Structure 1
């Protein structure tokens, strides 16, 4: 799907205005917050365009399942019995949740993603250095669908395009919500779905968002999402930083150390840089001694 001029023209001149960028700069990279955005419609984000995108992407870049789920699930949720394109086209009644991953594989969507990130690149790089590995994800959800409790390794801004949802976030790096052992397992290739306990709910912060609102999600901040009463389309623009990679590598090294009987100290959150463990892991990996 190549981007005709009409797709480029569909973007407002500025999606994140000066007040939004200033607010983002004050809170990035560790504080969740809601921003205003100007991307409330776009031809590439219409339901039929998304169904066609889903059919273009490799199977590894689409995930979809039933949306009538609890907050916590044990492993991957079950299938909804439809194809990905059917799920998207019937999202109003399919009782499902779908995500299209790495949309930058398609040139038109890569241009959309990079256009958005370029607007906030100065604020990103002033805080965490070079913006690395930009990726885009699109979520299409039925009314009332639940995205179960999980976390993600990227810096993330979730732009709500259509419908509404409530994301409940928990503090990143707090072992009350995710243990150090689970972090280590995840960074060594394990699942991102987290163990849920209803006792944690009072400690979460709810962020309701609708069209024209975006939510910043810090790296590895646990969260779950409940969709509102109408179908939802959300665009997630993400990136990594050397800081986030070093924390990930320190976690992986800790897993190796723990497997050998040690009790390693957890890596520090931003602005701690975790240089020693990260570079030790990189050396072990280069020597083929990590077991992965």
Structure 2
């Protein structure tokens, strides 16, 4: 089945170089209705489900914090998303659940057909996002190749240039080294450079690797996020891994943007080897729960004493 419906030869040439918004047919599968998603939530492992709400940190606006959703059925979680202020990530649903795996395979095969690239995929994952009308995703960048397949509702996406002004090398090194989450420092001044897309239903958005972006819902939304490792992402991440170690252990000031192809090639091989050897200890982020879902509470959110997530 053809999933992407309006791909052109020019799109094939532009893929990975510019921001693209195209039409898709994932909704035709019937797997993204409220009923289908409620059933998925009921059977998906709870440790692969994140329910979050948004904070007001000035450096990381709309940063996500974890919500305890235990005791809620899938249908009740969707009710909370429609009426509350929550963002639900059903992690790896497309690549884990038997009902969704065939659609994920068809979708990736169609992406390969359209782009003529990314055939040597690695670590391909697909998560399903179920989010409230007021939900936001903070300013961040993804170390993987990431595509947003919007399916239901109205969503606004802001994409920023992948330059050092908007993504400092030090910030991206911290992401690649596992020291920080994908959220990166934000300034309102960045908005002058943002490309803004109001997404209708059934729209695929792709952007160049490492482009910072953020999302604001305009209604209750259902989307799928596809993540995978490509030659492009693996190459850059290995270079940045090496640069991060040179900065931290030798006091050097390396730069992705100022380096040439020979230097990058050497650093890419070095970074690949060093990562395999575990040259840098990955920081394991502690996930604290700040709220519990509660039908009687405003926005379904009841504040609780901060506790470490254990579910």
SS of equivalent to 1:26: helix
Q: Please list, as runs of the form range in 1=range in 2, the aligned pairs for 1:179-258 lying within 5 A after superposition.
A: 179-189=168-178, 190-228=180-218, 230-258=219-247
Please name the residue that 2:60 is paired with: 73
1:107 to 1:274, Cα distance in 2 relative to 1, 3 A = farther
- 1:30 paired with 2:30, answer no
Q: Hey, what's the Cα distance between the residues in 2 that align with 1:273 and 1:28?
A: 26
1:239 to 1:117, Cα distance in 2 relative to 1, 3 A = same
Q: Are 1:71 and 1:147, in contact at CA under 8 Å, matched by a contact in 2?
A: no
Q: Hey, what's the Cα distance between the residues in 2 that align with 1:120 and 1:226?
A: 26
Please name the residue that 1:98 is paired with: 88
RMSD: 2.8
1:72 to 1:48, Cα distance in 2 relative to 1, 3 A = farther
Q: Are 1:35 and 1:213, in contact at CA under 8 Å, matched by a contact in 2?
A: yes
Q: Hey, what's the Cα distance between the residues in 1 that align with 2:58 and 2:14?
A: 27
Please name the residue that 2:39 is paired with: 52
Q: Are 2:51 and 2:69, in contact at CA under 8 Å, matched by a contact in 1?
A: no
Q: Hey, what's the Cα distance between the residues in 1 that align with 2:109 and 2:122?
A: 12
Q: Give 1:114's match in structure 2, choosing from 92, 105, 115.
A: 105
Q: Give, in angstroms, the shift of residue 94 of structure 1.
A: 1.6
1:237 to 1:87, Cα distance in 2 relative to 1, 3 A = same
1:190-216 deviation line (CA, Å, top 9, x unaligned) = 211111111111111101111122211
1:230-281 deviation line (CA, Å, top 9, x unaligned) = 3110112332212211211111111110012111121689x99943112112
1:90 to 1:22, Cα distance in 2 relative to 1, 3 A = farther
Q: Give, in angstroms, the shift of residue 97 of structure 1.
A: 1.1
Q: Are 2:131 and 2:220, in contact at CA under 8 Å, matched by a contact in 1?
A: yes
Please name the residue that 2:158 is paired with: 168
Q: Hey, what's the Cα distance between the residues in 1 that align with 2:278 and 2:108?
A: 35
Task: List gaps (5 residues or longer) in structure 2.
Answer: 283-311
Please name the residue that 1:15 is paired with: 3
Q: Give, in angstroms, the shift of residue 156 of structure 1.
A: 2.6
Q: Are 1:121 and 1:131, in contact at CA under 8 Å, matched by a contact in 2?
A: no
1:87-114 deviation line (CA, Å, top 9, x unaligned) = 3333210221111111211122111111
Q: Give, in angstroms, the shift of residue 28 of structure 1.
A: 0.9
Q: Are 1:71 and 1:148, in contact at CA under 8 Å, matched by a contact in 2?
A: no
Q: How high is the TM-score relative to the length of structure 1? A: 0.83
SS of equivalent to 1:40: helix
1:75 to 1:204, Cα distance in 2 relative to 1, 3 A = closer
1:218 to 1:100, Cα distance in 2 relative to 1, 3 A = farther
1:51 to 1:240, Cα distance in 2 relative to 1, 3 A = same
Q: Hey, what's the Cα distance between the residues in 2 that align with 1:14 and 1:122?
A: 9
Q: Are 1:71 and 1:224, in contact at CA under 8 Å, matched by a contact in 2?
A: no
Higher strand share: 2
1:157 to 1:79, Cα distance in 2 relative to 1, 3 A = closer
